[in-house]
Amino acid sequence: MKKTISYLIIPYILVYSFLGILHYFGKIDSLFITSALYAAILNIFNISLALVFYYISASKSNKTFLIYNLGGMGLRLFFLLISVFIFLKFLKVDEYAFIFIFFIFYFLQLIFEIGYFNKRANNPGNK
């Protein structure tokens, strides 16, 4: 589990280190950093839900596994859609920064999620 969490944290450390350097040299403002933080929070919640659904359904039947993971994916996408709309509409964020950083984190975590589930599926002793 510690290894899983470290894989989740590494992209955030890299992106925020880069953003910190850019902010230090005056290339981006604090609104950009705040927008990136909101995007990161949404993605952390998304990947956390994916892992929770996976661990709940890992030892269940195939039908239950698919319901939890595919149904969970639908619920997570719906949650993200509503959340992005709310963040853009009601919070003071840089829209372009928020969407750009959100998609960077989303696709990095999607790659992680697929690789992690694939590794766990190919190694039954890991469950």
pLDDT in tens, 48-106: 898 888 888 888 888 998 888 888 899 999 999 999 999 999 998 999 999 999 998 89
Q: How far is CA 43 from the centre of its chain?
A: 3
What torsion, rounded to 10 degrees, do the Cα atoms 40, 9, 20, 92 define?
10
Q: What is the CA radius of gyration of the chain?
A: 17
C-alpha triplet 2, 7, 103: angle, nearest 5°:
140
CB distance 72 to 31 below 8 Å: no
Structure tokens at 105: 């984190």
Entry pTM: 0.81
